[in-house]
Every structure is written in C-alpha cells, then in structure tokens.
Structure 1
C-alpha cells in the first residue's frame, strides 16, 4: 500500500508541474499578444526632422607647404578644415498617442563622411503628441585634420560654387504610452545642407551668411 500511495503522489506532482508550466506559458503568450495588439493599434512612427536654415560664420581649408630646410625635404602641412556655423533643427512627433523622450542628442557637421566639427550636445527633451521642438546649436571645428581626398573634393566643389555639408544627429529616444516608458532606442538623423562658397579661395565663405534650407532629413530608429 505504501508503494501505491507514493506512485499516486508522483502522478499528482507531475500533473501540478504540467499545469504550472501551461499556466506560465499561457500568461506569457497573453502578455506578448497584448503588447503586439497595442503596438498595432498605436502604430508608432519615428520622429520627423527638418533642417530649416544654416548660418555660416567661417568655412575654410588650410593646406600650405612647409618651408624646406637643408636637412628636411619640402613637405605639406596636414590639411585642416575650420568651420563655425549655426543650424536650426525642427523635430516633430507625428504620433497621436505616443510621446517621445530625446536623450543625449549629439549634433555635428560632416563632409564626405568625415566629421569636421565637434559634437554639440542638445538638452534632453520630452515631446508630447504632435508636438514640435526647435534647436539652434552652434557647430565648431578648428583646424580639424582631413585626408588629401577631402582637399581634392573640396577644391572641385569650390570650383562648382558650393559644398554639401551634412548635419548629423546621434542620440537615444524612448517611447511613452500612458505611464509606460520603453527602453532606449538609437536615433540617427542625417540632414544635407548645400552651402554656396566664394570663389576667391578654397573653401572660403563670407562671415555670417544665412541660408534658408528647409530640407527634410533622413531618420533611422
């Protein structure tokens, strides 16, 4: 009789384990289904960015030959770019039911996929439904070393009368639905800006020239 009772208890324990596992699996599936359903209903969209304008204070390239000596042969000093500009960025939240938190947004200028300014940090911002945010950061780059390829490309662009500078944003975003806040997602924004250059020197530009651009930016989240 003792053996039969032990087998009966084992069967009860196995049945209890199966019920617990089935219950946990059902709960997880239900939670995932609810999250998926909420996601489908809300249809979250990534934010829209527009580069409204750019004010150029300085943009020039230095590539002067070094003075040769009796010991050292003549050589070229490193090619460097100096840039000072202020840009106006507009960010819009297109969602009706989702808020957006912006964290650690870093803005910088790029030419031919090479960063030519220091990053400027934007303040952390919360954007409600359909809200619009404006930032006007300054971008600085003093004697930034660039490759010989950039010198050649910039010379060609200068002869054509203009240069394409990309204003880029790197940072993190969070989605907010009601009281729920998601984890952080990487945000990457690329805004092309065509800048006209003077023809009296490589990469030169008169001070404080403001360009109305109104260019939509590509956004990846």
Structure 2
C-alpha cells in the first residue's frame, strides 16, 4: 500500500469516527430534549405530607441533660401527580427539639407510591438516655411544667420519579412536621394503653 493510499484510509476512518461521534451527540441531545419536554408538560409536584397524630408513651428528662423518649407518630403521604409515580428508596424518621436531634433514626421500608396514591406510616421513634444540650434539658423541663412541648418530626431520605417506563436518578427528600404536644392535658388527648395520643393534623414542609 502506497503512502498516499494509507493517508486516504486514515482520513476515511477519521471522518467515520467524527460522523459517529456527531450522531451519538445528536441522539443524546434528542433524548435529553424529549425528557425535558415531557417533564415540563407533566409538571411534577412534590409529595404532600401531614402529621396526623403523635402518641407519647415515654418522655422523660432525667438529670440536667438526659432524655428518654418513646413516641409513635402517624404520617400521611399523598402523591398529587396524575402521571408520575414516586419510589421512596430510603426514608428515616426522627424528632428534634430546638434543632437538636433527640431520638434515633427509624427507617421506613422502601415503597412505591403510584399516581394519586396515599401511604400512611405509623413508626415508633425513640431514644434511651440520649444526651442533649444542657440548655435544651432545662428548656424541655420548663416546657413540660408549662404543659406543652414543641417538637419537630423530620423525615429524610431519597426518592426517584417514574414517568411511564423511565425512572429518574435519586433526589434528596426532606420533610419537616411541627408537633405541638400539650403534655399532661388529658382533655386534648386519648389514652391508648400506657400512652396518650394527640391529634395534630399538621401540614409538613417538603423539599426535594
């Protein structure tokens, strides 16, 4: 093979590779554009959460800064989308007080939430002899003596969206539910065994 023929062969291979790369880029662009258009048309909405109630079995501050708690919460979740499903890959529930975590994480099993579907979870969140900041220990004791404690029930996890047969990557989900609990006032609660259930019906803030 002459040097001229070899050069022509290399040029042809180079042009073929360039055309292949250009074709792949165009195809990727078309697929991405189709996904974006579909996403814009469907207008996905965040799931809605409501903290329905909280049942207090144990909530005890011992020493200045040690807390033992056992609480069961009922959380309502609804997918408001007509054509988009939601995969909850991971979801952990816990309680905070004045921005400090006061219970362990409780995991909710992974679940798929279809179009307009509703899920209701009733996990127990608890902590045994959890150290808390001294000022929070004093504030909790004071709040209990005043008859009410403002907690935050939080849910952190990862979700995926399902549109037809296409499933997106994972997105972080953060849910914050205010829980104003009137301790000691049995007129506002229902005795459930050794606990007292308080109806809250509190809307939660959701960010994805």
Which range, TM-score by smaller chain?
Answer: 0.7 to 0.9
CA distance in 2, matches of 1:59, 1:89: 20
When Rg is computed on C-alpha atoms for both structures, the one with the higher figure is 1
2: distance between equivalents of 1:115 and 1:57? Answer: 18
Alignment root-mean-square deviation, CA = 2.2
1:65-119 deviation per Cα after TM superposition (whole angstroms, max 9, x unaligned) = xxxxxxxxxxxxx621111111110000011101111123211111112221222
TM-superposed CA distance for 1:6, in Å, is 5.1
In structure 2, list runs of 5 or more residues that go unmatched.
Answer: 186-193
Matches within 5 A, 1:15-164: 15-63=15-63, 79-164=65-150
**Cα deviation 1:6-60 (Å, max 9, x = unaligned):** 5554554444343223222211211111111111112111211100011112212
Residues 72 and 125, structure 2, Cα contact 8 Å, conserved in 1 = yes
| Structure 1 or 2: more strand by fraction | 2
Which residue number in structure 1 is paired with residue 189 of structure 2?
none
The structural deviation recorded for 1:183 is 2.2
SS at match of 2:172: strand
Distance 2:8 2:196 in 1: 89
State the partner residue of 2:191: none
SS at match of 2:169: coil
Displacement of 1:167 in angstroms is 0.9
Structure 2: distance between partners of 1:133 and 1:102: 11
- Is residue 178 of structure 2 the alignment partner of residue 220 of structure 1? no
- For 1:188 and 1:7, locate their aligned partners in 2 and report how far apart those are by CA, in whole Å: 60
Aligned length: 200
Tell me the equivalent position of 1:175. 161
Unmatched tracts of structure 1, length 5 or more: 64-77, 200-206
